Structure 1
Amino acid sequence: MSKSIEAVKRKGKAKEATIESKDQRWHCRNRITLVFGSNDVEELETYTYEDGKLNFKTVDFHQAKSKAIEEILDNCIDEYYRGHVTEIHCELSEDGKSVMVEDNGIGFPIEKVPQVYSEFRTGSKFKDEETDEKGFLHRTLGQNGLGAAATCLTSDEFKVRVRHYNSKKEQTYTFIDGALKVKKTKPKPFKGHSGVRVELKLSKEVYKNDVVDEELLRKRIIDLAYNNPGLTFYFNKEKYHYKKGLLELAQRVDPDTAQEFGASAYIYEAKNTKGKKVKGKIDLSVALNLSKKSEEREKFISFVNSTPTFDGGFHHDRVRRLFVNSIKDKLARNAKKEKLTLVDNDILTGITFTIGVTMPNPRFESQTKRKLVRDTHLEKGIEELMNKNIDKFLRKNKEYLEVVMERAKSRNRFQELKDASKKARKQKKQRVEKLLDANERKKRELCTLFICEGDSAIGGLRSARDKLYQGGIALKGKPMNVAQAAISDILNNQEFSDIMASIGLIIGVEADVSKLRYSKVVFLADSDVDGGHINTLLTNFFYQFWPELFDQEAICIAKAPLFEVITDKGTKYIETPDELETFRETTKLKIKEIQRNKGLGEMSPEAWKHVLSRESFTIISASDVSRAKEMLNVCFGKDTSLRKELLMDEDSSSSTSVSVSSTTTSSAKKKASKAPAKKAKAATKKKAKVTKKKATTTGKKKAKKKTTTSSKKKK
């Protein structure tokens, strides 16, 4: 048996709770948040219409006040869905306190006006299974019979004129102070259009501020016009009428990036409570703006039965997920090949979705209708729309797929750089055994590091350098092509690891010359094709990770003399064969000996002194950053066809500007010059064959002619 409840010992007489019964007017005015949502000003991320464009921004939004006006507009839209309305007019007074809404529908029986506007749970849309003349379930916004009545009960003045089409009579009711007082005119015949006209002034006591925001009310009117193509709206005499619906709204976001993804009507069958089959129709449309260059997160503009779903809901989530999954499936093979993982942001960045849903009996989380809940028929309709149109979209937007892959690569590279910077910081502290360091300790900004080709070069540099300010480090052969290497591979490369540690560079961290161990980095390679290639590979390495060093004029090239010409008055150092030829033709000096240096290792100590004692070296600069990156990509990227075009095109090899790319193309130029020579040689051979063949044929003809002549003579 359960234990009996213990009796509480109380002193004296207990004060009992007062039981009250409040009418719906009191409840509505004092608990307005239950009906219309927040009664405080909040910040809302949305958009407004300005100068023919959409301006996405944060606005001060009063949910309850906005919803009170929208409920009257929604009634007009419901009549439009039933085929009774072609025009809706709205006006806002100059002081923003008085709003008028009028349609040209059929109205309703005038004796029902007090019930409709002053009593909850009164309306004409409670029958969720009611169908139109085509047998489809009605689509509607009003479902609870609360909205218009709640607006009336929270208004200081609410004036309604109903012109009933069927009875041909009109009557005007004026509800004062939340319907505490009611005035009415006598029913009378009317001339002109039928319909309902509402004029209202919201209660300052209820809403704290009774001024209606003109910008947001205009936004609501224009939204309704876009959602209902063919329906004409007027706001303060301004006309809004659209024909293409939400596609036009997307074009207003940005006409250059707008496109229709797809539109469809999904029809389904269901059974009502009596077991009778009924048909439902869901109209869906999805338009989008695809901005490939934008770095902003995705945006959604969405409506359900013309009402904006600020908080999204099921239709947002389903369209988003199906779109993302389709793109991931399409790029799965490429992503696997590139060893990349695609994330949602790679796909959705820069996209604005504009979604419209018109359906029977939509279900929202609350009376504010800001968020749609799941519906099985809507889910099937969205899946059908997305599956039907995704292939067409992908065929039209092949460049977009490339952008998605580039975003994934960039994100992956950013993460690698982040990881690399941690590892590089540890490497920076390690001693570099191969470094021939400068001895200066305090004024490191005066120090220069020479990156030499081969250990033999370091020997010459060791004896000729200024030990205080000049350091050196040797390469073993050609360095790695970083354009086609992973960050981890670069960090594990001993030569690049030593170079970074020597200078004080960290991958992923911007370089500041004033904080580095060397303020100048000079490439010193052999004066041949291989030496030029080494210089370009080093340029590629530094430009990929620290392009700012080129702006700071920290990267240079030292040209080693190819010839040492010993004359009767000293030694001349000459860099090219052409310069040597010119010198021989013009000099008056007596040339005793010409020494040709095949590499840095063959240079004399005097030649080393000559190179290292120069006041300045050839600075590598990039006047056009995009052009420099493009050229480096041509020379070192994965697309070999770009290099092939460069090598085969004499113009591109001869017109390359002197900048970062000037050294990049040095080896390419040499190869390029060989290509036309090969072509010419092949053409000469071909011509020779043709000539030979012609000559042989002519010989045969002559021989044949000779034979014929001699036979004639015999006869």
Structure 2
Amino acid sequence: MASADYSARHLSVLEGLEAVRKRPGMYIGSTDSRGLMHCVWEIIDNSVDEALGGHGSEIEIQLHADSSVEVRDRARGIPVDIEPKTGLSGVEVVFTKLHAGGKFGSGSYAASGGLHGVGASVVNALSERLDVEVDRDGKTYAMSFHRGEPGVFDDSGSTPTPDAPFTPFENGSELRIVGKVKRGVTGTRIRYWADRQIFSSTARFQTEELFDRARQTAFLVPGLSIGITDERGDEVRRDAFRFDGGIAEFVEHLATDSGVTETWRLQGSGSFTETVPVLSPQGAMVPTELSRECEVDLALRWGTGYETTFRSFVNIIATPKGGTHQAGFEAGLLKFLRQTVEANARRLKAGTDKLEKDDVLAGLTAVLTVRLPEPQFEGQTKEILGTPAVRNIVSQVVTKGLKERFESTKRDDKAQTALVLDKVVAEMKSRISARAHKETQRRKNALESSSLPAKLVDCRSNDVALSELMIVEGDSALGTAKLARNSEFQALLPIRGKILNVQKASVSDMLGNTECASIIQVIGAGSGRSFDLSTARYGKIILMSDADVDGAHIRTLLLTLFFRYMRPLVEDGRVYAAVPPLHRVVIMNPGTKPNETIYTYSEAELHTLLAQLDKAKKRYQDPIQRYKGLGEMDADQLATTTMDKRHRTLRRVGVSDAERAERTFDLLMGDDVAPRKEFIIAGSEGMSRERIDT
């Protein structure tokens, strides 16, 4: 609620800002953490727009301990002279008038993110206090606002606070001169306290989101340095971002898989005309036809995976819900690759089937940016671009850029374009095969199907939530596991040795591998983009490998397979690693009291146990049994330690664990030799003979 002592002089100014306070969701989306972050970026984006225009290359963001936010730049500074129509200073106009600023005409900004002219004024209206300082013309000018109204805070202490007594201006606003700066030094400093009357009590600044978006903005504006200091926690956190490589570096940062191609950069532009209302000197809105220029910059690369990572931006403002520029990109990409595959159908053995959008987007990492004056967004939150003409311009730039790349006579370009065609055709065939398989499965249930591997030892229960598939290393462990399992809900699938390294193999090689194909077939939910978690036949997938180096190797190979081709299983927390014991210690009790058996799971745990037994003067059998494989246990021991729900220990595999496994395999068994050599050399000093099985 606005302050009761507002003066009549400001009723016209505050009328618009009061509408913002009454319905903030119209301007910032919500009044929770998302809206709080939106306000931060409305202020930061103004500084970024200055950098886009070539004015200033440094922005500093500071989250103070008192929950205020401060943004500093060294750009041109907000104008301080009097705006003739309102008779107010430029600073006051920017912070109190909706739809006012330097981004409506064509003189101040060729392209900018703050296109509606409400950013600074909305943040001001939703702030309990806002202070602005401007360096211009050798002086430092200052003005303060309380919930949108200009005036003066009586800061008796050295630290400004929104609770300080506030005196609104009565007869005329004053842009105070509070200092001097060297001639030529310009910039703006804004500090504000979000209004606790507006934002919910649970609204919080999302630190990671702030750092991620600052990094993203630094990628989009090459040469711009963005520093963030967070003083709210126990420790001050500080980071700075600057990337001179632009969106090409952004693509490399986003990509998590090995590359099929290098990062390709496609750039171009196009012009269009649109009719927009323009304010005439007489104050009337006159429809005027204007010529616009749209610049397109695209970086993309295909990787060995099947996930699609796509980011789109308009004047460096993220458009997470897409819009006409994304539609143009997808249309141009699909149209060109369809034509190219049709022209090479015989060599690619593509038949008469047509590529679909998902086929060409599989494994693609791309960043698309377009820059144009006054883009049409759907809503103030700017999540969807609506300018119709951008679609054709982006599509033409994509088509032209890809045509030049595919017609290039350079050896690298020819090799990479051939790999792209092979990949998209393989994705198309995989999609068609998965669809045919799904249709077949609809006609037959799992029990009627004769396609399940003969070596699968299935369970009796049809309850997916209860059932478990245990992937067992070796036939010897399978024999013991058959006796140790609960056949009602525990199924067993043995694998022979080490499965295929899917980090290097193609999709067709993976599907052609007996062990990989058996695992995918038994789980019954498909693979890659066609994977359907709802059709998985088991609620838990448990990897049972030996407690030795080879067992760890096999487990890592399996995790890489699940992460690459059945990731929803990992994301849903359905993949587990069994934890078999390393040692079996038999404590010999005196007299007729039965001996006690204790299992330990690490060398440190064993030494601690033995020390406790020696201290208690308890005898134990020597030598202590050391398990190297699951097959060394009898059925009772295997059930007690690894398979019985009442006693076993399972480790749930998270996405970070699977990502770590994939990175490890990429390092140790990937195509790039140099990092592997460096890893081996660096780790050789810490290796002892005792750690090697010889």
Match of 2:141 in 1: 171
Residues 405 and 27 of structure 1, relative CA distance in 2, 3 Å threshold: same
Once the two structures are superposed, residues 589-629 of structure 1 have per-residue CA deviations (whole angstroms, 9 ceiling, x without a partner) of xxxxxxxxxxxxxxxxxxxxxxxxxxxxxxx9965665999
What code does the residue aligned with 1:379 have?
R
Match of 2:42 in 1: 71
**Inter-partner Cα distance in structure 2 for 1:143 and 1:515:** 62
Q: Which stretch shows the higher mean deviation, 67-76 or 115-124?
A: 115-124
Match of 1:307 in 2: 317
Structure 2 residue 272 is matched with structure 1 residue 260: no
| Post-superposition offset of 1:279 | 5.8
Match of 1:383 in 2: 395
State whether residues 260 and 287 of structure 1, in contact with CA within 8 Å, keep that contact through their aligned partners in structure 2: yes
| Post-superposition offset of 1:92 | 1.2
Residues 82 and 354 of structure 1, relative CA distance in 2, 3 Å threshold: closer
Identity of aligned residues (%): 20
What code does the residue aligned with 1:313 have?
G
| Post-superposition offset of 1:276 | 9.7
Match of 2:430 in 1: 410
For 1:467-546, list aligned pairs within 5 A: 506-511=449-454
Residues 344 and 177 of structure 1, relative CA distance in 2, 3 Å threshold: closer
Match of 2:243 in 1: 242
- The match for 2:296 among 250, 269, 284 is 284
| Post-superposition offset of 1:351 | 1.6
Residues 412 and 551 of structure 1, relative CA distance in 2, 3 Å threshold: farther
- The match for 1:191 among 175, 181, 203 is 181
**Inter-partner Cα distance in structure 2 for 1:139 and 1:507:** 63
What code does the residue aligned with 1:143 have?
L
Match of 2:306 in 1: 295
| Post-superposition offset of 1:188 | 5.5
State whether residues 33 and 39 of structure 1, in contact with CA within 8 Å, keep that contact through their aligned partners in structure 2: yes
**Inter-partner Cα distance in structure 1 for 2:381 and 2:224:** 24
Structure 2, unpaired ranges of 5+: 1-10, 82-88, 154-173, 230-237, 279-285, 407-413, 460-470, 477-493, 514-694
3-state secondary structure, aligned to 1:75: helix
Structure 2 residue 100 is matched with structure 1 residue 122: yes
Match of 2:580 in 1: none
Match of 2:333 in 1: 323
Question: Hey, which of these two has a bigger chunk of helix by percent?
Answer: 1
Match of 1:359 in 2: 372
What code does the residue aligned with 2:325 have?
H
| Post-superposition offset of 1:151 | 0.3
For 1:476-625, list aligned pairs within 5 A: 506-511=449-454
State whether residues 78 and 141 of structure 1, in contact with CA within 8 Å, keep that contact through their aligned partners in structure 2: yes
Match of 1:653 in 2: none
3-state secondary structure, aligned to 1:411: helix
Residues 71 and 234 of structure 1, relative CA distance in 2, 3 Å threshold: same
Match of 2:419 in 1: 399
Match of 1:369 in 2: 382
State whether residues 333 and 399 of structure 2, in contact with CA within 8 Å, keep that contact through their aligned partners in structure 1: no
For 1:654-693, list aligned pairs within 5 A: none
3-state secondary structure, aligned to 2:380: coil
**Inter-partner Cα distance in structure 2 for 1:631 and 1:107:** 60
Match of 1:154 in 2: 126
State whether residues 255 and 309 of structure 2, in contact with CA within 8 Å, keep that contact through their aligned partners in structure 1: no
Match of 1:485 in 2: none
* Structure-1-length-normalised TM-score: 0.51
Q: CA RMSD in A?
A: 3.9
Residues 623 and 103 of structure 1, relative CA distance in 2, 3 Å threshold: same
Q: Which stretch shows the higher mean deviation, 396-405 or 156-165?
A: 396-405
What code does the residue aligned with 1:123 have?
G
3-state secondary structure, aligned to 2:35: helix
Match of 2:551 in 1: none
**Inter-partner Cα distance in structure 2 for 1:360 and 1:306:** 12
State whether residues 97 and 212 of structure 1, in contact with CA within 8 Å, keep that contact through their aligned partners in structure 2: no
Structure 2 residue 205 is matched with structure 1 residue 202: no
3-state secondary structure, aligned to 1:122: coil
State whether residues 331 and 395 of structure 2, in contact with CA within 8 Å, keep that contact through their aligned partners in structure 1: no
Once the two structures are superposed, residues 422-478 of structure 1 have per-residue CA deviations (whole angstroms, 9 ceiling, x without a partner) of 6677xx9xxxxxxxxxxxxxxxxxxxxxxxxxxxxxxxxxxxxxxxxxxxxxxxxxx
**Inter-partner Cα distance in structure 1 for 2:458 and 2:317:** 59
For 1:86-125, list aligned pairs within 5 A: 86-94=57-65, 96-109=67-80, 111-125=89-103
3-state secondary structure, aligned to 1:23: helix
What code does the residue aligned with 2:102 have?
S
What code does the residue aligned with 1:325 have?
K
**Inter-partner Cα distance in structure 1 for 2:177 and 2:302:** 56
| Post-superposition offset of 1:172 | 0.9
Match of 1:434 in 2: none
Match of 1:224 in 2: 217
**Inter-partner Cα distance in structure 1 for 2:510 and 2:224:** 56
**Inter-partner Cα distance in structure 2 for 1:515 and 1:219:** 46
State whether residues 269 and 277 of structure 1, in contact with CA within 8 Å, keep that contact through their aligned partners in structure 2: no
What code does the residue aligned with 1:67 have?
H
What code does the residue aligned with 1:243 have?
D
**Inter-partner Cα distance in structure 2 for 1:284 and 1:206:** 39
3-state secondary structure, aligned to 2:375: coil
What code does the residue aligned with 1:248 have?
E
* Structure-2-length-normalised TM-score: 0.52
What code does the residue aligned with 1:401 have?
L
3-state secondary structure, aligned to 1:234: strand
What code does the residue aligned with 1:138 have?
A
- The match for 2:361 among 322, 341, 348 is 348
Residues 315 and 75 of structure 1, relative CA distance in 2, 3 Å threshold: same
For 1:20-31, list aligned pairs within 5 A: 23-31=15-23
3-state secondary structure, aligned to 2:433: helix
Higher relative contact order (CA 8 A, sep 6+): 2
Match of 2:618 in 1: none
- The match for 1:34 among 8, 26, 29 is 26
**Inter-partner Cα distance in structure 2 for 1:38 and 1:631:** 47
| Post-superposition offset of 1:185 | 6.5
Once the two structures are superposed, residues 153-212 of structure 1 have per-residue CA deviations (whole angstroms, 9 ceiling, x without a partner) of 1111100001224xx332111112442744567326621421111011111111114642
State whether residues 99 and 201 of structure 1, in contact with CA within 8 Å, keep that contact through their aligned partners in structure 2: no
3-state secondary structure, aligned to 2:223: coil
| Post-superposition offset of 1:388 | 1.8
3-state secondary structure, aligned to 2:42: helix
**Inter-partner Cα distance in structure 1 for 2:64 and 2:78:** 25
Residues 405 and 511 of structure 1, relative CA distance in 2, 3 Å threshold: farther
| Post-superposition offset of 1:347 | 2.1
Residues 66 and 371 of structure 1, relative CA distance in 2, 3 Å threshold: same
Residues 271 and 251 of structure 1, relative CA distance in 2, 3 Å threshold: closer
Once the two structures are superposed, residues 91-139 of structure 1 have per-residue CA deviations (whole angstroms, 9 ceiling, x without a partner) of 1124544333333324312532222212223222222xx257xxxx821
User: Which of the pair has more CA radius of gyration?
Assistant: 1
State whether residues 421 and 507 of structure 1, in contact with CA within 8 Å, keep that contact through their aligned partners in structure 2: no
3-state secondary structure, aligned to 2:176: coil
